[in-house]
A and B are shown apart, each in its own frame.
Chain A
């Protein structure tokens, strides 16, 4: 085979200037660049998300266990080179000035926290100071609320079990607190070496042992892989992609969008490759026949063309990888504020996947066309009408489809989205075929009404009905994909911007007691602070489902679910919360007040495998209460408003110990009002999330730019299909136009009839495209992206218009030579 390499190379070089090979390679470059850049980018984003989560947890990975952590785990982590911190958390009562207060205590070692910093201050409302380590032996740091509850001042002492500890700082922020964001008890941070002196921890005490790990991404991934299967059902390992829910949700949608854009650009490139390879194959029937005539065996012919395919694949894929890498670097620069500076380099993996992908797509879409060349009979040199037998359609479509699905699934890791896209495109092709057939029938009907060049143009379209229908299909399909990607981008960005308006709540206030509700409301209204209302919160744990203990009732994979291991915040409400949406069942009416009914969040319902009609038993303040599920609802977790997994109607859990939660917006200049609030209501806790909000907003803006950047790939791939589809029919069009000119047709007549023919072709393709766009967009919006779907009326005009302009523009590139050159020259060069 290699002896033909140099001949294959030379023939390929000589063919290069003909045109279709450039489109083929360009399509391949786009497909590979799109896949590798998006692959590398999402990989790096995932790393960044993990790092972000680390900042929240104070470690990359956090192991929680009710028993002390096995030394083997610590040894393994040490040997892997991970940094380790061990701490203990438990609840206990602290005493000061004869006041008692239940407190959430965390005892940390000298390495805590591994990531991020602890924030303390010298006064309850004073300036914050960041420190790298927890309190030294003999000292404790307390949450601001404890100072009010216990009438404490700095440097006084508290009693904890059998020991006394000195209060040396106000604890403003502890990186680990994100995981117990809503815990009611105020926090205390102490040194682990003091724990024994307290004498609190006895066999049987309820204690959580924590081990935090931090280190290189690859090392901790390996450690996580080793550790996960060894965990007992009572142990949890946090880390990975946990982080702010709002960031997660936006990033997840952005990733889905990027995957979709990548899949569609691969698909479009595949179509362009198939079209150009088909044309390339047909143009080489004569060459193949001639080579056979000159003594080349079938094997030699196929080896030469396969080698050419290999060279094209290698060059296109390498170039694609290069562009992919550069694009990805560009994206990283755009997102530099969000991404950690020491991200691991993408390595050789994307290069290898890029090369494999390039060959798979090239082979899948062009091999059938090239295989035909093998069977061109040598007699074709004497009789042009002899063409090789077409390759089986099953083989052509089967090969293309299987390579496409395999590639899209492998690259995106999202089977559902892959199947949805493929099914959507197949359905669109069928739909567009039917529509194009109807349009053709309608065209016949209106033919008699038209005159002049419009009539000639339409006649041309009808005369070459089959070819034109195919062209409309290719054109309509690529336009449709371009429009879907554009609409989705616009609506996603609008949604992200709408999700975080300038006055979105940026503070939470929790632990508002029943008797403080009126006062807090008054405080907000007097200062014209916009709140999201006060929501009741009762702590309770799910114990049974349909009277079966929870451990036995839920599917295996849900047994480790966090929501089953901790108290949930239960609430009650008369009306469905604004950002919630009812999915199953009905919301209660006024007659249901006092009835034991509940509404469950859809994610929790799915994990617990429950539906309306099922009963759930809760343990609230040592009492059991059973309720029937009346509805399942979706919750917009990224809304920065109080949201609940479980909601009851009024007067069911109202008598249990309750506190209230609210969220509100104040800008930086009004910050001092927070101090007034805490002074007036010393027992409530204010959580400032404005910094996180700013971060989320900036990430959204950067992701928006990235999304726009990636849309370029789809646009380029779409253009390739448009050019390829025009190329395939242009030889014949150019030839007939030249003959018409030779026979005396005026230049102006030719231009007019060309413009009318292509305008109508463009219009028809545009109509097909907008119909398909709206249908596919409906499915994507409602099933994948969770967006509200509305018909895009402006598209009804813009779609066909854009299509006409594009098709006229591309056709002019080819037809120019017919109208500008002399007929003789045009004839010779056609």
Chain B
């Protein structure tokens, strides 16, 4: 269960009775109305937050047994992220943004790996552009390259097409799934976009914090 301190007193349940298992290399979509708890569920699964009760396992590692730094290490090792608002650092170029997760792991081949992935997402001519010099679609492609650069086991995507037009969205969806297949990564997507949800192996619906078709 995930709960929140309710300002008017007591606790507010955001998610309850969620029981979910995702297999390796599976792609799943979590859909639901705004405020249904999709992003909270994603945050819990990715170890960005802790449930008030219950547990989350990544592989055979229990998240609740780890402290915040332990979860951070696990994320660095096994998880990649794609966000609705891209979350690129404005002071870094496209190449530097993609290199960052590897640099945090003190990887010696950060630049080459990042170059390969940027090439893969079709941005080899935009390597040294800053985020503000890139279109929304281009920024999300940089974010996808960054998510896969550490070769994670799971990629969590929070509304990856939420800020993009239909045509660009389609292109981003295709790219995300192509790379996912190539790398055999588990993909968890929170989305409103039905066309995106349809491409996943499984689609789960959240209603008021409860999974209705898990």
Interface residues on A, range: 20 to 34
Which residues from 222 to 238 on chain A have a C-beta closer than 8 Å to any C-beta of chain B? none
Contacts of A15 in B (CB 8 A): 91
A-B contact sample (7 more), CB < 8 A, given A290-B89, A294-B76, A297-B69: A4-B106, A291-B100, A293-B46, A300-B104, A382-B42, A382-B48, A828-B132
B24 at the interface (CB under 8 A from A): no
- Bound-complex Cα distance A383 to B104 (A): 23
- CB-CB contacts of B112-136 with A at 8 A, as 1s and 0s? 0000000000000000000010000
- Bound-complex Cα distance A300 to B106 (A): 11
- Bound-complex Cα distance A108 to B87 (A): 86
A288 to chain B, nearest CB (A): 11
Interface centre among A299, A378, A829 (most CB of B within 10 A): A378
- Please determine whether B87 and A296 come into contact, CB atoms closer than 8 angstroms: no
Which residues from 789 to 803 on chain A have a C-beta closer than 8 Å to any C-beta of chain B? none
Q: Please give the number of chain B residues whose Cβ is less than 8 angstroms from any Cβ of chain A in the complex.
A: 33
Which residues from 592 to 644 on chain A have a C-beta closer than 8 Å to any C-beta of chain B? none
- Given A3-B106, A381-B83, A297:B91 Cβ within 8 A: no
- Please determine whether B48 and A298 come into contact, CB atoms closer than 8 angstroms: no
- Please determine whether B48 and A378 come into contact, CB atoms closer than 8 angstroms: yes
A437 to chain B, nearest CB (A): 30
- Bound-complex Cα distance A255 to B149 (A): 61
B92 at the interface (CB under 8 A from A): yes
- Please determine whether B39 and A297 come into contact, CB atoms closer than 8 angstroms: no
- Please determine whether A294 and B100 come into contact, CB atoms closer than 8 angstroms: yes
- Please determine whether B75 and A14 come into contact, CB atoms closer than 8 angstroms: no
Contacts of A17 in B (CB 8 A): 91
A18 at the interface (CB under 8 A from B): yes
- Bound-complex Cα distance A11 to B90 (A): 12
- Bound-complex Cα distance A3 to B108 (A): 11
A-B contact pairs, 15 of them (CB 8 A): A3-B106, A10-B103, A286-B89, A290-B87, A293-B75, A295-B74, A295-B77, A295-B79, A295-B101, A296-B104, A297-B69, A300-B104, A378-B48, A381-B83, A382-B39
Contacts of B148 in A (CB 8 A): none
B111 to chain A, nearest CB (A): 11
B96 at the interface (CB under 8 A from A): yes
- Please determine whether B49 and A295 come into contact, CB atoms closer than 8 angstroms: no
- Bound-complex Cα distance A381 to B43 (A): 9
B108 to chain A, nearest CB (A): 11
- Please determine whether B73 and A295 come into contact, CB atoms closer than 8 angstroms: yes
- Bound-complex Cα distance A829 to B106 (A): 32
- Please determine whether A297 and B72 come into contact, CB atoms closer than 8 angstroms: yes
Contacts of B87 in A (CB 8 A): 286, 290, 381
Contacts of A728 in B (CB 8 A): none
Contacts of A18 in B (CB 8 A): 90-91
- Bound-complex Cα distance A381 to B69 (A): 17
Contacts of B89 in A (CB 8 A): 286-287, 290
Contacts of B74 in A (CB 8 A): 295
A602 to chain B, nearest CB (A): 61
- Bound-complex Cα distance A428 to B102 (A): 50
> Which A residue sits closest to B159, measured CB to CB?
A382
B68 at the interface (CB under 8 A from A): yes
- Please determine whether B43 and A382 come into contact, CB atoms closer than 8 angstroms: yes
- Bound-complex Cα distance A483 to B127 (A): 50
> Which B residue sits closest to A3, measured CB to CB?
B106
Which residues from 10 to 24 on chain A have a C-beta closer than 8 Å to any C-beta of chain B? 10-11, 14-15, 17-18
Contacts of B101 in A (CB 8 A): 294-295
Contacts of B100 in A (CB 8 A): 290-291, 294
Contacts of A3 in B (CB 8 A): 106
> Which single member of B73, B79, B150 contacts A297 (CB below 8 Å)?
B73
> Which single member of A10, A295, A383 contacts B75 (CB below 8 Å)?
A295
- Please determine whether A379 and B49 come into contact, CB atoms closer than 8 angstroms: yes
B158 at the interface (CB under 8 A from A): yes
- Bound-complex Cα distance A829 to B77 (A): 34
- Please determine whether A299 and B69 come into contact, CB atoms closer than 8 angstroms: yes
Which residues from 49 to 91 on chain B have a C-beta closer than 8 Å to any C-beta of chain A? 49, 68-69, 72-77, 79, 81, 83, 87, 89-91
Contacts of B83 in A (CB 8 A): 381-382
- Please determine whether B106 and A14 come into contact, CB atoms closer than 8 angstroms: no
A333 at the interface (CB under 8 A from B): no
- CB-CB contacts of B168-200 with A at 8 A, as 1s and 0s? 000000000000000000000000000000000
